[in-house]
């Protein structure tokens, strides 16, 4: 017992001798109850503010650990010869010499041991909760509000809104965890310093390989049959006439077990490797594609040079990439639509009323103009729509004011969900490769300019990837089309 009490004596003497240790001890005493209460509040979900988590786990938590470190460092390395030490020493000496006080010291030893164990457990809980917090969508999306707003918004609106950001951007495993935390710390720093590119560029080289990631939930090699895709758009006329584009997408991949793997997911068959060279970071300019053949030889397609590509290749070295899910599904989770697509979706969902004459044409015109901020856009969209309808449809505006109000709200929403002027994100800043808008996407390779030495190109037949059942038709008779094989 005396040995332990000696230890205690040494401890308190040391504490008294070192200002650093004393400050640490005071900090730890104050922070302990504060953190404990915050932890309970957070685990009960009583405060949903992302800033709360930030303060608890990234400010108070590390401060607590720092306080304990200060105590340790102070005790062993930074002992001064201050007055306090003598007082503490005398005080302790009294306690040790007076037998009736000895009990108190013994209790203190037990208490100190318990406190240490609690501290260690406590640090464990904080570390775990802090880790959980930094993995949350709130931390990634909402805390860096302006910087991540475009991606956070698109993620919230996507089929993947329940998939954690880190699931795609970092992934499991200790190595990725450490790399991810270092990356996140850097991100927080550049956000605080307001020093990041606008718009944020593709993080492709840091992204968890999508073939591993997407395959944890989707087995593209086990998709069978075709996928019927119906795209609804509206004509810019008084009735906002709905038009239907109907495609039968050949997503089905017949896999090794049946015949040779074919169709759209051919490129990512686990037994095949398609590599390509791209000249730019966005992967819009592809100059070469290599497909490994079964006999080990390579089939090489090269873009037959026009002036622009050869100039680009001299300036920037080409990067080699192995084709994976994100080379077509590059906007999985972050689909930023074109203005027309955004309005079509709002009419389809009923947010913009189809029954309001010219709602497609007028809302599209209102959201297509450039605006410098959210406030400016909201005011301008509302003013433009209200003045046009007052002038051209005065009776309807008086009779059913609600229709116009809904159209204004829907148009503002369509703009807000896709355009982020503070982040340099305009309509279609982020291109979708899943298709061939403006000859991009699939046509980067499926293009007669991309040829082997023998002059063979990846096919461009319209029925290679989809059967076209209707293109912007009012009343496509699909069963009829299928019956007569009109495709």
Among 20, 75, 92, 148, binds ligand HEC (CB under 6 A): 148
329 binds ligand HEC per the rule CB under 6 A: yes
**Closest of 435, 456, 444, 469 to residue 251, by C-alpha:** 435
What is the rounded CA–CA span in Å between residue 363 and residue 369?
Answer: 11
User: CA neighbours within 13 Å on the CB side: how many for 85?
Assistant: 17
213 binds ligand HEC per the rule CB under 6 A: yes
Q: Are 450 and 439 in contact (CB under 8 A)?
A: no
**Contact residues for 81 (Cβ-Cβ < 8 A; gap 6+):** 17
C-beta of 39 vs 339, nearer to ligand HEC: 339
Q: How far is the CB of 386 from ligand HEC (least distance, A)?
A: 31
**Contact residues for 444 (Cβ-Cβ < 8 A; gap 6+):** 283, 284, 285, 286, 433
What is the rounded CA–CA span in Å between residue 407 and residue 138?
Answer: 30
Question: What would the two tokens of residue 249 be?
Answer: 């997408």
Question: What would the two tokens of residue 146 be?
Answer: 């302006």
Q: How far is the CB of 163 from ligand HEC (least distance, A)?
A: 4
- 214-273 residues near ligand HEC, rule: CB under 6 A: 214-218, 220, 223, 227, 229, 231, 245, 247, 249-251, 262-268
Among 200, 312, 348, 380, binds ligand HEC (CB under 6 A): 200
**Closest of 105, 191, 118 to residue 148, by C-alpha:** 191
Q: How far is the CB of 106 from ligand HEC (least distance, A)?
A: 54
Q: Among the candidate windows 20-28, 113-121, 159-167, 358-366, which touches ligand HEC by CB under 6 A?
A: 159-167
Among 137, 343, 352, 385, binds ligand HEC (CB under 6 A): 137
C-beta of 5 vs 440, nearer to ligand HEC: 440
What is the rounded CA–CA span in Å between residue 78 and residue 16?
Answer: 11
Taking CA atoms, 169 is separated from 2, 181, 219, 402, in Å, by 56, 11, 19, 43
What is the rounded CA–CA span in Å between residue 321 and residue 289?
Answer: 10
Size of the site for ligand HEC (CB under 6 A): 78
**Closest of 465, 469, 463 to residue 484, by C-alpha:** 469
Q: How far is the CB of 309 from ligand HEC (least distance, A)?
A: 15
C-beta of 161 vs 387, nearer to ligand HEC: 161
Q: Among the candidate windows 122-130, 327-335, 353-361, 413-421, which touches ligand HEC by CB under 6 A?
A: 327-335
C-beta of 73 vs 207, nearer to ligand HEC: 207
C-beta of 275 vs 405, nearer to ligand HEC: 275
Among 82, 167, 354, 473, binds ligand HEC (CB under 6 A): 167
Q: How far is the CB of 164 from ligand HEC (least distance, A)?
A: 6
445 binds ligand HEC per the rule CB under 6 A: yes
Q: How far is the CB of 179 from ligand HEC (least distance, A)?
A: 16
What character string, x for contact with ligand HEC (CB under 6 A) and - otherwise, covers 333-352? xx------------------
210 binds ligand HEC per the rule CB under 6 A: yes
Among 75, 143, 286, 366, binds ligand HEC (CB under 6 A): 286
**Closest of 240, 250, 228, 233 to residue 478, by C-alpha:** 228
- 34-93 residues near ligand HEC, rule: CB under 6 A: none
What is the rounded CA–CA span in Å between residue 346 and residue 231?
Answer: 13
**Placement of tokens 């699939």 in the chain:** 442
Q: How far is the CB of 2 from ligand HEC (least distance, A)?
A: 59
């Amino acid at each position: 017992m005396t040995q332990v009490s000696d230890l205690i004596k040494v401890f308190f003497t040391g504490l008294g001798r070192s200002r650093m240790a004393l400050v640490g001890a005071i900090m730890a005493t104050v922070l302990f109850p504060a953190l404990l209460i915050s932890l309970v509040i957070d685990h009960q979900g009583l405060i949903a503010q992302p800033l709360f988590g930030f303060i608890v786990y990234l400010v108070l938590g590390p401060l607590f650990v720092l306080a304990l470190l200060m105590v340790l460092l102070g005790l062993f390395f930074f002992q001064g010869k201050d007055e306090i030490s003598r007082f503490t020493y005398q005080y302790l000496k009294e306690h040790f010499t007076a037998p009736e006080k000895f009990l108190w010291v013994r209790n203190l030893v037990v208490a100190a041991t318990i406190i240490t164990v609690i501290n260690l457990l406590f640090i464990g809980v904080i570390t775990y909760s802090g880790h959980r917090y930094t993995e949350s969508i709130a931390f990634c999306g909402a805390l860096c509000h302006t910087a991540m707003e475009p991606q956070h918004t698109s993620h919230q609106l996507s089929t993947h809104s329940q998939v954690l950001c880190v699931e795609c951007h970092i992934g499991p495993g200790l190595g990725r965890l450490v790399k991810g935390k270092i990356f996140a710390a850097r991100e927080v720093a550049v956000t605080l310093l307001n020093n990041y590119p606008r718009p944020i560029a593709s993080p492709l080289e840091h992204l968890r390989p999508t073939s591993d990631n997407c395959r944890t939930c989707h087995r593209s090699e086990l998709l069978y049959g075709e996928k019927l895709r119906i795209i609804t758009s509206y004509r810019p006329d008084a009735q906002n006439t709905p038009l239907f584009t109907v495609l039968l997408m050949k997503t089905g991949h017949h896999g090794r077990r049946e015949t040779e793997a074919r169709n759209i997911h051919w490129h990512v068959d686990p037994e095949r490797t398609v590599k390509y060279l791209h000249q730019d970071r966005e992967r819009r300019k592809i100059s070469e594609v290599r497909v490994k053949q079964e006999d080990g030889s390579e089939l090489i397609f090269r873009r037959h040079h026009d002036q622009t590509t050869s100039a680009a290749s001299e300036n920037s070295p080409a990067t080699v990439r192995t084709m994976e899910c994100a080379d077509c599904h590059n906007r999985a989770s972050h689909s930023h639509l074109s203005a027309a697509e955004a309005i079509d979706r709002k009419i389809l969902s009923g947010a913009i009323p189809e029954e309001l004459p010219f709602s497609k044409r007028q809302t599209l015109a209102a959201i297509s103009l450039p605006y410098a901020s959210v406030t400016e856009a909201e005011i301008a969209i509302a003013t433009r729509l209200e003045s046009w309808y007052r002038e051209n449809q005065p009776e309807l505006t008086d009779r059913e004011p609600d229709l116009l109000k809904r159209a204004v709200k829907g148009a503002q929403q369509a703009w807000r969900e896709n355009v982020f002027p503070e982040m340099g994100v305009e309509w279609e800043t982020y291109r979708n490769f899943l298709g061939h808008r403006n000859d991009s996407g699939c046509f980067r390779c499926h293009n007669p300019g991309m040829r082997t030495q023998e002059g063979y190109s990846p096919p461009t037949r319209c029925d290679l990837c989809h059967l076209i059942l209707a293109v912007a038709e009012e009343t496509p008779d699909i069963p009829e089309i299928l019956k007569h094989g009109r495709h």
